[in-house]
Amino acid sequence: MAKSCYLCKENIYLTSKARKRLHPFSSSASRSQKVFSFWDVCFLCECLRRCPEFDMIFFCNIWLPAMPASSVDRLCDLCDGLHGTLAEADMLGRHCKRRSGILRTLFRLIDLNSAQLNLRIATLCLALCVSGNNLLNICKLIFQISRSESNDLLFQNDSIIESFLDILNNEDVSSSGETLLYCAGTLKFLSGNSAILRILLDKNCVGVAQKLIQRLCRAEDTNFTIAGHIFVQLTATLRNLADHPDSRPLFISFSILSELCVVLRHHSKDPDICTNISRIYSKLSSYSECRLALAQTPNCYQLFLELLNKHHQKQDLVVRLLFIVGNLTAKSDEARWQLFQCEGCMDTLLQLYDTYQRRDDSPHTQPQKGAPSHSEPKAPPGKVLQDEDVLVKLVRVLANMCIHPAVGPALANNATCIQLLMETLELRCVQESEELLVNVAATINNLSFYPGSSVFRRSQLTMAKLMLKLVLCSSIDAMLEATRVYGNLSRSKDVREFIMQNRVHQFVVTLLDSKSTEMCISACGVLTNLAQDPPNRASLSVEGATAKLVDCLRDFGPGDWQLGGQVCQALWNMISGGSEKLLDTQERESLDFHRACWELEFLPVAQKLMKTLQPPDQRA
């Protein structure tokens, strides 16, 4: 039997059985029998192939009013079938004559409130190139679906992500700002899923983000106010992408790090944008290639200092900014110098140091027994830890800067810097602030290489006294850093006298038994300086220093020339001035053995190599 479609006047041949199956309320189907088989979907798709407008008739007048909730899966199949049929007929986009009717039908299905179905509907609507308010409403719909993690699986098997990236890439930012906002918000939620994160990288999400950043920055020059909200969502997405190791080459090749600096300059007052970007930088600056890309961004250090000034009360942002600067200056002399040259660099850093040092100094000092407390209530533990984390990261920056030969002397001569470091040593205890005190000791050790600075020189004895609690604590890292500091400070006679009077030398001698090359080198440095004073040599010998030095040479010398040289220097000072008797027969034999090995195994080969390396006209 032929039935004419009133939309296109084409005859569609339906058997009586087919008509009954397609009409849920036919004579053979009661209202309680609203069951549709997959055959119905296939048949209807065949009808749609010949007449896509047929969809509106059946959906609006027959299928939709009678559709039970249990048929959502079949509706999803039907949407997929309609999508495929329209694609085969090249009727996606705006080519379909009855496109508006199909869209109205799809919009009505949204009322069924099924995330699975709505995502299929949204995919089909985007394929039909909806625009304006329709596009905005579809993006809002997808945004709502993406907010639930339980729906992530739906996005992993759907082309909706590619459609969203196309919207971000092509929509005009001035006229479609709200649409872009919901798209960026959706990607923020989805990028929290590791599987979808991989899809986003494969579909060039980083490249799309770069172009969108550039367009938004240009639009902001025309008072495009919604740009800030879009940037919050977009930078949160990039923050999640930065977690994936495969994203790093993309961030570099698309110059994302430099582009984000531009965003920071435009939105330096927005704490959410600043925090998101700082989280991106803090993740990526742990890798050398990303550090190089960021360091090559013009005026990035000045920008970071300005942000530290503006947001000095926001601990989480301050910590990340200091961590970034610490990473940049960790291995680069150029970075240290550029940071130091920035306007107000030391004022900003030392003001931060002073502010966070003053916030919480009471919890680290012991109250007197029986004395009533009139101090302010202690800060919550979480806040105390955040404040201390700021100091840990800040002191690390100072320690890195000190390494530069031009910056180090300036800091060593900065009375505020020296005073703050000593205050930290005085106020904090190792048990509660180990990492901070280790960083402070490392900074003082770096500053001690510039003894000509008058401020540092006047403070050496005070520093040596404050270091005592680090040497005597149970932390290996703290002991090591403190011993290194004593190795440099002990060039001062006053410090050497303090070490001997407080029997620190006894502890230093025991460090030679530590079986740690770093610890032995540091201990040898202290002993080398102590042995300069003749009265100290006998005391060191009583503690068994010479025997332990010989043992170190035997154990580590053959495989560590630096340690071997330091041990020999210490022994030389110990036995100089007619004190050879400090070495017993066994110790002398051990030294003779090492000299014989050097003369037989190393010296001949080294002499031949040096002769070979000399120019022909200089060879004897």
pLDDT digits (tens, 9 = 90+) for 344-378: 999 999 999 999 998 765 444 443 333 333 333 34
* pLDDT(581) > 60: no
Residue-level pLDDT at 128: 87
CA–CA dist 558, 561 (Å, integer): 7
Residue-level pLDDT at 595: 64
Report helix, strand or coil for 196: helix
CA–CA dist 528, 475 (Å, integer): 24
Phi, psi of 492 (to 5 degrees): -85, 135
Residue 344 DSSP label: T
Mean pLDDT of all residues in the chain?
A: 82
* Structure-token match 């945004």, residue found: 143
The confidence band for 620, taking pLDDT boundaries of 50, 70 and 90, is low
CA–CA dist 43, 270 (Å, integer): 56
| Between 541 and 205, the higher pLDDT residue | 205
Residue-level pLDDT at 326: 97
* pLDDT(21) > 80: no
Token readout for 249 is 């080459």
* Structure-token match 């740009």, residue found: 227
Cβ-based neighbours of 193, under 8 Å, separated by 6 or more: 149, 152, 155, 156
The confidence band for 435, taking pLDDT boundaries of 50, 70 and 90, is very high
Residue-level pLDDT at 212: 96
Look at residues 451, 351, 350, 349 and name the one whose alpha carbon lies nearest to residue 409: 451
Three-state secondary structure of 94-105: CCCCCHHHHHHH
| Between 99 and 382, the higher pLDDT residue | 99
Cβ-based neighbours of 341, under 8 Å, separated by 6 or more: none
Query: What is the Cα gyration radius of the chain?
Result: 37
Q: Which of 1-5, 112-116, 275-279, 360-364 shows the highest mean pLDDT?
A: 275-279
| Between 525 and 614, the higher pLDDT residue | 525
Token readout for 530 is 């102590």
**Of 10-19, 87-96, 426-435, minimum mean pLDDT range:** 10-19
| Between 68 and 436, the higher pLDDT residue | 436
Residue-level pLDDT at 40: 46
CA–CA dist 426, 420 (Å, integer): 10
- Percentage of the residues of the chain whose pLDDT score is greater than 70: 78
* pLDDT(15) > 60: no
Cβ contact 486:471 at 8 Å: yes
Residue-level pLDDT at 558: 74
Sequence-ordered alpha helix ranges (H) in 515-577: 517-530, 534-542, 545-556, 561-575
| Between 10 and 163, the higher pLDDT residue | 163
Residue-level pLDDT at 529: 94
pTM: 0.81
CA–CA dist 503, 491 (Å, integer): 17
Look at residues 441, 515, 517, 518 and name the one whose alpha carbon lies nearest to residue 473: 441
* pLDDT(238) > 60: yes
Between CA 226 and CA 231, with CA 230 as vertex, the angle to 5 degrees is 115
Report helix, strand or coil for 275: helix
CA–CA dist 157, 141 (Å, integer): 18
**Of 2-11, 91-100, 127-136, 316-325, minimum mean pLDDT range:** 2-11
The DSSP result for 572-616, as a single string, is HHHHTTT-GGGS-HHHHHHHHHHHHHIIIIIHHHHHHHHHHHS-G
- Percentage of the residues of the chain whose pLDDT score is greater than 90: 55
* pLDDT(211) > 80: yes
* pLDDT(27) > 50: no
**Of 310-324, 328-342, 440-454, minimum mean pLDDT range:** 440-454
| Average pLDDT rounded to a whole number, residues 407-417 | 95
Angle of helix 534-542 relative to helix 517-530, nearest 10 degrees, comes to 140
The confidence band for 73, taking pLDDT boundaries of 50, 70 and 90, is confident
**pLDDT tens figures, 561-574:** 778 888 888 888 88
* pLDDT(276) > 70: yes
Quick one: the chain helix, strand, coil %, rounded to 5? Answer: 75, 0, 25
CA–CA dist 115, 360 (Å, integer): 50
CA–CA dist 79, 65 (Å, integer): 17
